[in-house]
Amino acid sequence: MTTTPTDLDHSAGDVGWDLGGLVDGRGEAGVDAQLDDAAAMADRISDQFRGSLAKLDAAGLAGLMRDVAEVSELIGKAGSYAGLCFSVDTTDAAIGALLARTEERATAISNELLFVELEWAALPDEHVAPLLADPELEFCRYHLESARRYRPHLLTEPEERILNDKAVTGRNAWGRLFSELTSAITLDIDGDAVPLEEGLSRLMSPDRTVRQSAAAGVTAGLEPGLRTRAFVFNTLLADKGTDDRVRHYDHWLASRNLDNQASDESVQALVDAVVARYDIPQRWYALKAQLLGMDRLADYDRMASVGQSESSFGWAHAKDLVVDAYNSFSPEIAGIVQRFFDDDWIDAPVRPGKRPGAFCAYTVPSHHPYLLLNWTARRRDVLTLAHELGHGVHAYLAREQGVFHQATPLTLAETASVFGETVTFGRLLAETTDPDERLTLVAESLEGQIATVFRQIAMNRFEDAVHTERRERGELSTERFGELWHDSQAEMLGDAVEITDGYRAWWSYIPHFIATPGYVYAYAYGQLLALSVYRQYEERGAEFVPSYLELLSRGGSAPPEELGQVVGVDLAAPSFWDGGLEIIEEQLEAAEEAAKAAGRLV
């Protein structure tokens, strides 16, 4: 079949990334060379510093940490190359072998440096305080300070080595298997063989027959491997239970909260606040049923476009629109965004064997980030592009913080992405005058908020249920997974949406449950935080831009509460979550007004 330029533009078929810079253009040989260098340096560090951290002054500790940073950079580049290659082709055996070898060697190298974390944690507070006050350690001060919060959960060095080694053939291997299984799912939709990602995107069609066919195809496509994916999930649930027990975590989410630098109480307050406002998505879905001329939505109708027709976006148009949106906020940021397109930092097309979804890979501070998309030329894809570019900008601006402080906790990681998506949405809305098109845009934005806040908390409730039941009652059947998935979704959807029997299996393609247990609530946290940040921009205008750039540039170099204060947000305020939820309710009210303006409601 001949591919025309128009086809390429709508499929983004020629938009692929260039990963060569990660390994000096040497491919697999470059990965091995970097790991060789990292291993040699780790051996030297171990020989020189093992057993001596208590004797180091600030200058000596700074020298050690710079060496550790260099090892991290080498491992990070090698691991990023192997992991990103695998993400675009999970079926290639040679790439899979490279990824496995890279993970095994990286684990062995990291084990040689375990003593640094353990000896540092063992030092008394009175010894640590003057060291952290010394300017020599500015580049890693917050990392060293925050690392000590893990003190009650660390094991002996031999135990830590065993857990790390076993993780390669344990949870990491199970996670890779899940990724390979889901990436290989092909759906039969009306005689067409399409990837899972394409089938899911068809649920946004304004044509209900298309949505019904897509939903039936997804359900049928998930069925053959459902029992295997359930076994993978069961195994990882048990593995995490063991890990939490030996590390003395009180409950299944405690370790994630500690990683996120969020207290158990604050996270529970977030969950409770969102669950208490489940009326917001229920009101929207009841309204949407009216807009679609239905008495009640089915689960496969939730993401349907309320527009009279489905818009299609070519890649070039999307690129120009997103760059222009970022430029309207900050030319400096727009210049960074442009580099992602110009310098081949994006892989966009849908391909067989490619990992579903979208992500931004930070890689390492000395390099640059990359974006993975699965482009289907829908409006939602434009906002996904803007979202992931926000992550990319955050990573790029924070690279000067170095390997210890570039990344933020998950609870802050969505700030730039949601902000960028919101700026792009505002640009789209400002240029749209047709009432029906405006309604479509407002509805899509609101549904994004609902998916990111309410649906993610509903998924957190599902995770809470399965982790708790696995620990208290043992292995879950595929039917039990389906029941708990149904119950957690039904609580959010209420009577506004009918949950079909086929939907009970749709938990089984979501990677976050497998790779990063407890991750999903961070989306809601980050979304509500980002909305509060954007509200500051609306109120302060251009004077807000420098403080926002400072926030992104500081990466994870300070506690979340301190970073929030940079842009005037008080994360410790009891009413913080309510403020973000009020913004979403305002968007619901705007959708109701837009529906009336379009003549779609009486």
Transcribe 147-195 into DSSP letters. Answer: HGGGGGG---HHHHHHHHHHHHHTHHHHHHHHHHHHHT-EEEETTEEEE
Which stretches of 414-544 are DSSP H helices? Answer: 415-430, 435-449, 456-473, 478-493, 512-515, 521-540
Residue 4 above 70 pLDDT?
no
pLDDT tens, residue by residue, 191-214: 999 999 889 989 988 899 999 999
Share the mean pLDDT of the chain: 93
pLDDT band at 435 (very low <50, low <70, confident <90, very high): confident
CA distances from 198 to 150, 205, 324, 444 (A): 42, 12, 28, 18
pLDDT tens, residue by residue, 377-409: 988 899 999 999 999 999 999 999 999 999 998
**For 330-341, what is the mean pLDDT?**
97
223 or 1: which carries more pLDDT confidence?
A: 223
CATH: 3.40.1280.10, 1.20.140.70, 1.20.1560.10, 3.40.50.150. Which one for 20-169? 1.20.140.70
Residue 18 CA to residue 335 CA, distance in Å, equals 19
Query: Taking Cα atoms as reference points, which of 194, 181, 287, 372 lies closest to residue 590?
Result: 287
Residue 585 above 80 pLDDT?
yes
Residue 2 above 60 pLDDT?
no
Residue 460 CA to residue 448 CA, distance in Å, equals 17
List beta partners, residue 189: 192
Quick one: pLDDT at residue 600? 85
First to last CA, the chain: 49
Query: Taking Cα atoms as reference points, which of 308, 257, 256, 348 lies closest to residue 17?
Result: 348
Residue ranges covered by each domain of the chain:
20-169
**For 545-572, what is the mean pLDDT?**
92
Residue 215 CA to residue 506 CA, distance in Å, equals 10
pLDDT tens, residue by residue, 63-117: 999 999 999 999 999 999 999 999 999 999 999 999 999 999 999 999 999 999 9
pLDDT tens, residue by residue, 114-138: 999 999 999 999 999 999 999 999 9
Query: How many Cα atoms occupy the beta-carbon half-sphere of 53 within 13 Å?
Result: 22
How many CB atoms sit inside 10 A of residue 498's CB? 15
Residue 522 CA to residue 409 CA, distance in Å, equals 9
537 and 497 Cβ atoms separated by less than 8 Å: no
pLDDT tens, residue by residue, 293-324: 999 999 999 999 887 666 788 999 999 999 99
Quick one: pLDDT at residue 21? 97
Tokens 């959010």 map to which residue?
492
CA distances from 570 to 66, 256, 264, 395, 413 (A): 34, 22, 18, 23, 17
Residue 114 CA to residue 76 CA, distance in Å, equals 17
Quick one: pLDDT at residue 186? 93
pLDDT tens, residue by residue, 132-179: 999 999 999 999 999 999 999 999 999 999 999 999 899 999 999 999
Residue 539 CA to residue 569 CA, distance in Å, equals 13
CA distances from 352 to 89, 381, 384, 543, 546 (A): 8, 19, 20, 46, 43
Q: Classify 44 as helix, strand or coil.
A: helix
Residue 28 above 60 pLDDT?
yes
Query: Taking Cα atoms as reference points, which of 522, 520, 528 lies closest to residue 462?
Result: 520
Quick one: pLDDT at residue 532? 87
pLDDT tens, residue by residue, 496-552: 999 999 999 999 999 999 999 999 999 899 899 888 888 889 889 999 999 999 999
Transcribe 355-411 into DSSP letters. Answer: PSS-EEE---TTS--EEEEEE-S-HHHHHHHHHHHHHHHHHHHGGGG-TTTSSPPHH
pLDDT tens, residue by residue, 336-347: 999 999 999 999
Quick one: pLDDT at residue 602? 62
pTM of the model: 0.83
407 and 391 Cβ atoms separated by less than 8 Å: no
Backbone angles phi, psi at 359, to 5 degrees: -160, 165
Q: Classify 348 as helix, strand or coil.
A: strand
Residue 235 above 50 pLDDT?
yes
